[in-house]
Structure 1
Amino acid sequence: MALGRRDYESLLALAVHALEQDGTHAPWPAIAEALADHLDAAAVTLTEIEGGRGRPLAWSPSRLTGPRVRELSRRSVAARHPLITHYGSTADTVPRTAEDVTGGAEWRRSPARSVIRRYLGADHVLAAPSARTAGTVRGFVVYRAAPFAPAHRDYLRRAQPLLAAVDAHDRALARFRTPPAEDVPRRARAYGLTPRELTVLTLLGEALPAKAIATRLRISVRTVHKHVQHLYRKLGTGDRVSTVLRAQSLGLLPADAPGRRPSVPQPGQHRPHRVADRLP
């Protein structure tokens, strides 16, 4: 199906917006907003699927709060959302609706549909992958009250190469993106982090082991581990390196934080801390 003039104007606007970015902010919230407007959607999220879990990275409309969007994601995973399962377990890149994957009758009575109706007032969902790396797929998820027309699918299919290029461009710029200090507490609150958890995250970014963090904050090592487990859950990670990388991508830590890479001792060099002192 051929795209109309308005479709091409929208794609051009997305490309211009991405190229105009100076690297200080990720382009995704504005792109999600543009997609929501063009597709007449109740909401659009940029979601990353890893290990069977969905993690929202950006969304529109802006009135949706971070905690609400993440709760939607958690409940969708618990309800075995068919698109999360499908794109997380296959190499498929074609934009598909939940009805495509499960069938219309099964989707209408599925718990996942009840979840999106409760949180977004939507009945239909369409996903379009934009990037895939080892074990991870990232893409846009579009929610609508009305069914998707063939034109909506075709538009997203044509937009995919552009979105993939923007993703690669943004990943490259993220290495140089340092969040303004005044923005970090606001971003931390958006992800449900407490001030103490943000402090622990900052020290993780400095590559400090649990014992050193406990000493610095005058708390027990056990309490440090408790805070770290909360960080893993809220950021959707499973170890300290991926947590630091995730925090950098979300603008919670500067991109050049020392924790970006695990240190490797040189031959003959002793590790400064015992294995028991290091975080899991």
Structure 2
Amino acid sequence: MGLEHRDYEVLLAISVHALEQDAAASPWPTLTRTIRGHLGVEAVTLTEIAPHRSRPLAWAPGEVGDGRIRALSRRSMRCGNPLIGHYRQARDPVPRTAEDLTGSAGWRNSAARSVAREYFGAEHVLGVPCALPAGHSGVLRGCVVYSRTRFSPAQRAFLHRAQPLLAAVDAHERATVRALERAGRDSTDRARAYGLTRRELAVLLLLGEALPAKAIATRLSISVRTVQKHVQNIYRKLGTKDRMETALLAQSLGLLRPRPPLGGPGPGTPGDS
């Protein structure tokens, strides 16, 4: 089934928001709200699941408290939600409903359905995997969509098309967080003062390592074209014209740590004064 024009508008809005989110915040609260509103469902959650624990990362509606969402995640694991078992064991990126996996009777009589009804008044749930675990010890991240009514072909078609985008947002988000953790809080705060988003700061940090656009794209799980867009935004916001000028200015502004001289001792090595 093909998508409607509005579906493509929402997918584009998700892409733009994920790439242009400011330096401090995750895109996921807005993305879960956007998906919930577009589909007209009861709730959408994003959860990270390890073999013996679960951690909610974002959810909509936002007025549901953190404690209640954590309790939902724990109970879903304990009662053997079929979506968790399926996506933890099968390298399957396809969005699926619980009924796809257990059959209508199996889902109707399951403890997991009772949990979905208790927390969101939902009779049906659908999983959208964002990151599949590598082996039994890996971490699964994915969205769960809760609905009072059966998912329509149009809703399923939208989520099927959205899955690669959400997986790319997840990979990019995690890579950005790792880059910013290396940069430290001071750099993030200074970047905000110059109007740089945290994605742009992550690209700037890798520019400072003299990585080409293709390597930056690989590191951040984005396209070369997106890297080039971020680079042009960085030049505009910092008032620079090329990589060298940008790296030198960013160092002087405290956005980048100065690179050690070629062949000289690096930070923390013998010879530092």
Is residue 157 from structure 1 mapped to residue 160 from structure 2 by the alignment? yes
Cα offset for 1:57? 1.1
**2:110 is matched by which residue type in structure 1?**
S
User: Would you say how many aligned residue pairs link Structure 1 and Structure 2?
Assistant: 180
**1:67 is matched by which residue type in structure 2?**
G
Q: Is the 8 A contact 2:41 2:145 kept in 1?
A: yes
Taking only the aligned residue pairs, the percentage that are identical comes to 56
**1:143 is matched by which residue type in structure 2?**
Y
Q: Is the 8 A contact 2:88 2:132 kept in 1?
A: no
**SS of the counterpart of 1:114?**
helix
Cα offset for 1:133? 4.5
Bigger CA drift: 129-138 or 9-18?
129-138
Aligned residue number for residue 127 of structure 2 = 127
Q: After superposition, where does 1:98-247 map in structure 2 within 5 Å? A: 98-134=98-134, 135-175=138-178, 176=180
CA shift digits 1:148-203 (9 cap, x unpaired)? 011111111111121122112211221316779xxxxxxxxxxxxxxxxxxxxxxx
Aligned residue number for residue 269 of structure 2 = none
Cα offset for 1:136? 1.6
Is residue 7 from structure 1 mapped to residue 10 from structure 2 by the alignment? no
Is residue 61 from structure 1 mapped to residue 64 from structure 2 by the alignment? no
Q: Is the 8 A contact 1:23 1:173 kept in 2?
A: no
In structure 2, how many angstroms separate the alpha carbons of the residues matched to 1:156 and 1:52?
A: 28
**SS of the counterpart of 2:56?**
strand
Q: Is the 8 A contact 1:54 1:73 kept in 2?
A: yes
In structure 1, how many angstroms separate the alpha carbons of the residues matched to 2:48 and 2:101?
A: 19
**SS of the counterpart of 2:132?**
strand
TM-score by length of 2: 0.63
Cα offset for 1:123? 0.6
Aligned residue number for residue 201 of structure 2 = none
Q: Is the 8 A contact 1:52 1:88 kept in 2?
A: no
**2:149 is matched by which residue type in structure 1?**
A
Q: Is the 8 A contact 2:94 2:163 kept in 1?
A: no
Q: Is the 8 A contact 1:46 1:57 kept in 2?
A: yes
Aligned residue number for residue 46 of structure 2 = 46
In structure 2, how many angstroms separate the alpha carbons of the residues matched to 1:124 and 1:55?
A: 22
Aligned residue number for residue 247 of structure 2 = none
In structure 1, how many angstroms separate the alpha carbons of the residues matched to 2:67 and 2:15?
A: 30
In structure 1, how many angstroms separate the alpha carbons of the residues matched to 2:131 and 2:78?
A: 24
**SS of the counterpart of 2:131?**
strand
In structure 1, how many angstroms separate the alpha carbons of the residues matched to 2:75 and 2:120?
A: 13
**2:79 is matched by which residue type in structure 1?**
A
Q: Is the 8 A contact 1:24 1:179 kept in 2?
A: no
Aligned residue number for residue 268 of structure 2 = none
Cα offset for 1:132? 2.6
In structure 2, how many angstroms separate the alpha carbons of the residues matched to 1:147 and 1:18?
A: 29
Cα offset for 1:4? 0.2
Bigger CA drift: 153-162 or 62-71?
153-162
Q: Is the 8 A contact 1:52 1:84 kept in 2?
A: no
CA shift digits 1:194-244 (9 cap, x unpaired)? xxxxxxxxxxxxxxxxxxxxxxxxxxxxxxxxxxxxxxxxxxxxxxxxxxx
**SS of the counterpart of 2:91?**
coil
Cα offset for 1:52? 5.6
Aligned residue number for residue 70 of structure 2 = 70
In structure 1, how many angstroms separate the alpha carbons of the residues matched to 2:94 and 2:142?
A: 11
Contiguous gaps of at least 5 residues in structure 2: 187-273
Cα offset for 1:5? 0.6
Aligned residue number for residue 94 of structure 2 = 94
Q: Is the 8 A contact 2:130 2:143 kept in 1?
A: yes
CA RMSD of aligned residues (A): 1.7
CA shift digits 1:96-152 (9 cap, x unpaired)? 000000000111111110111011111100001112343122111100001101111
Cα offset for 1:76? 1.1
